[in-house]
Amino acid sequence: MVDLEPVELEPGLAHPSKRALRWNAALTIVLLALIALFANLLADRHLRIRADLSEDGLNSMSDATKSIVARIEDRVTVRLFVTEDVEDGQLALRGARIRGQLEEILQLRPEAFELQTLDPTRSSEARRNADDSGFRPMRAQAAALEGGGSGEPVWLSLELAYRGRTERIPAPRPFEFETQFASALHGLLADRKPGIGWIGAAIEPSPTQDQNKARIAEASPTYRYLRSTLERRSHFTVLEGLETGRAVPDDIDVVFVVRPSGLPERTVYEIDQFVQRGGRLIVCIDDPDYNVLVGNATYSEEDLKTSAFGKLLRGWGIEVLTSKHIWDGKWKSTRAAWTGQAIVAVHSPLLITVPDEGLSDDLSPTRGVERVQFAWAHPIVPAELRPVPDGIKREDLAWSSDDSRLDEILLQLGTDSRELRNRMTYLRQKPSARHVIGAVFGGLFPSPWKEAAPPPVIGRDGRPSSSEGPVSTSVGPRSTSQVVVFGDADWLRDPWAPQGEVLAPFSASGGVVLAENLIDWLTLDEELIGLRSRAPKPRPLRDFLTEEMQKAGVFERDPFETAYEQGMRDQKSDRARQLARGKQWLTMLLPAGGALLVLGLFGAAWNLTQRSRKTRAAGEKR
């Protein structure tokens, strides 16, 4: 057996100095930093694994975008007009996010894209190209807030070119950029843009030099926002002269009939012929319409029930009850109202914001749409009371909540909260039910002129003329078609934004998205429908004060209240503020108290563990 003698180490080797330990620690940190840096570089170049853990899924590329990019057969030129050096922090962040998303899309197929970055603030040629494309710069707000003028001009726009065609994105938005870019690229790749026709309501207000009349006209129903949106993706045409025997053009795929008023019988005939050929209709019935500033009602020239167009719809199994409005106590919204002195907020059950639970999950146009706002909507008569003819299928598209009732047509929009409360009390005595606001009808639609002569055309003198128009009385072979009907037209209406502040969103609250989805669905091009629903869902902070004010019934201010009513309102308001303040403190203290409780329990558990260890160690020594 060999005895091994212990070897004594030198003091310097047995116990390293503090200086050596510091050097070792510093070297270790440097090496770890280098390893992390090179690992990130290698992962960025060779590892493309990503995980989108966001609730809305907005940080990953959609399948629709990948499918559209995969269909590119030639090279797409992308011209990005952007200001490189931006002092305004918000606009700089916006530009960085847009460029990051653009780079990610281009990386799907780098060989299919050519990116040209142009700065109009540095190059006169780039500025000329931006002007030719119709782009305008944004203005930074920093200098304006400091009193230094209107701020620096900041450019951020895109133009896509492909095989001689161009699409433009004048104002890209970070949360919607993928949808904007994919829509523009989809339009470039399409063989033809869909044709959209418009019949009925005026799109723009009548021009006037009177400022008061112009202010009132801006609060009347107009549809410029919808038209500008549709013009970017389709050929938009206002159909005129149908009463003179002119047919709906063959390149029109979908026709909007918005608030039809006094349509001549010959115009109704041409609409019927369009449907018989397989054309699609989107019909929006709304009578009367309201001016949101002064509250005046504007009625159609004739009652829908006795009009030629109303008779055509009833022949197809479609009837809208224009003598009633839908009053929704659950999905009511706030509208702005003019009292004659100021604009106040009024809760109105006649202004209905339908959430996703009130939109069909079985139909593509409404699937994924978060909400759509309807105003003073009419109910569509149920299928049990108005059955559809053989060969036509009906599917409901949008409806009110179960806490809905039918109200009489208002002659004037009121602002007196007492009157509104009395009206609510009266209506709540009636039975509640769900009422249909929008429905889809599809199949072979019967024609009233199948075995009858077409109605006479309207001559230049405004009188019927039997010498003009088609000589054939046959409509020819029928084709299947689809007719979408809404008991409201305000979901397409321009937002009301006096002095730049949006007081009534109307179409901006889901209406335009639904309209685009309907067009894609009716023209059998559903690739972008799912992509439009990719938008951040609003998650506002909980407003305890508003909640308590609503519970106390003092949220709506009566502009004509008495001194006694004002005193009672002040007392309720003070009580609501106290309750809201208590909830705020409770909300703030509960997380802090919970965290302290968890730390206390952890510390107590750790102390017990240490004590038990010491007790066991003492027992072992004994």
Contacts of 183 (CB under 8 A, 6+ apart): 233, 528, 531
Dig out the tokens for 297 from the structure: 């009602």
d(C-alpha 497, C-alpha 495), whole Å: 6
> Residue type at 433?
A
Q: What is the 3-state secondary structure (H, E, C) of 477-525?
A: CCCCEEEEEECCCHHHCCCECHHHCCCECHHHCCHHHHHHHHHHHHCCC
Q: pLDDT grade, residue 557 (50/70/90)? A: low
Architecture of domain 63-165: 3-Layer(aba) Sandwich (3.40)
| Range with lowest mean pLDDT among 55-64, 389-398, 575-584 | 55-64
Q: What is the 3-state secondary structure (H, E, C) of 244-281?
A: HCCCCCCCCCEEEEECCCCCCHHHHHHHHHHHHCCCEE
Q: Please report which helix (H) or strand (E) contains residue 200, including its range.
A: strand 195-200
Averaged pLDDT for residues 612-619: 77
Q: What is the pLDDT of residues 115-153, one digit of tens each?
A: 999 999 999 999 999 999 999 998 765 444 444 444 678
Q: pLDDT grade, residue 537 (50/70/90)? A: low
| Range with lowest mean pLDDT among 270-274, 306-310, 332-336, 427-431 | 332-336
Three-state DSSP at 442 gives strand
Is the sign of the CA dihedral 395, 400, 405, 411 positive or negative? Answer: negative
Q: Is a pLDDT exceeding 60 seen at residue 99?
A: yes
Q: Is a pLDDT exceeding 60 seen at residue 467?
A: no
Question: Would you state the pLDDT for residue 8?
Answer: 52
Q: Is a pLDDT exceeding 50 seen at residue 472?
A: no
Q: What is the pLDDT of residues 329-383, one digit of tens each?
A: 889 887 766 666 666 667 778 889 999 999 999 999 998 788 999 999 999 999 9
Question: Would you state the pLDDT for residue 146?
Answer: 42
CA distances in angstroms from 582 to 260, 542, 548, 553, 595, listed in the order given: 54, 14, 11, 19, 20
Q: What is the pLDDT of residues 256-274, one digit of tens each?
A: 999 998 899 999 999 999 9
Q: pLDDT grade, residue 511 (50/70/90)? A: very high
Q: What is the pLDDT of residues 10-49, one digit of tens each?
A: 554 455 677 777 788 888 888 888 888 888 877 767 666 6
Q: Is a pLDDT exceeding 50 seen at residue 435?
A: yes
Question: Would you state the pLDDT for residue 126?
Answer: 93
Q: Is a pLDDT exceeding 70 seen at residue 195?
A: yes
Q: Write down the mean pLDDT value for the chain.
A: 84
Answer whether the bond into residue 194 is a cis peptide, omega within 30°.
no
Model pTM above 0.85: no
Listed by start position, the domains of the chain span 63-165, 192-322+379-399+436-535, 543-622
> Residue type at 102?
L
Residue in the structure block whose two tokens are 């019909």: 283
Dig out the tokens for 410 from the structure: 């208002």
Question: Would you state the pLDDT for residue 555?
Answer: 54
Q: Is a pLDDT exceeding 90 seen at residue 314?
A: yes
Question: Would you state the pLDDT for residue 448?
Answer: 92
Q: Is a pLDDT exceeding 90 seen at residue 539?
A: no
| Range with lowest mean pLDDT among 127-141, 447-461, 495-509 | 495-509
Question: Would you state the pLDDT for residue 577?
Answer: 87
Question: Would you state the pLDDT for residue 3?
Answer: 53
Contacts of 268 (CB under 8 A, 6+ apart): 308, 309, 312, 455
Per the model's pLDDT, the better-predicted residue between 559 and 145 turns out to be 559
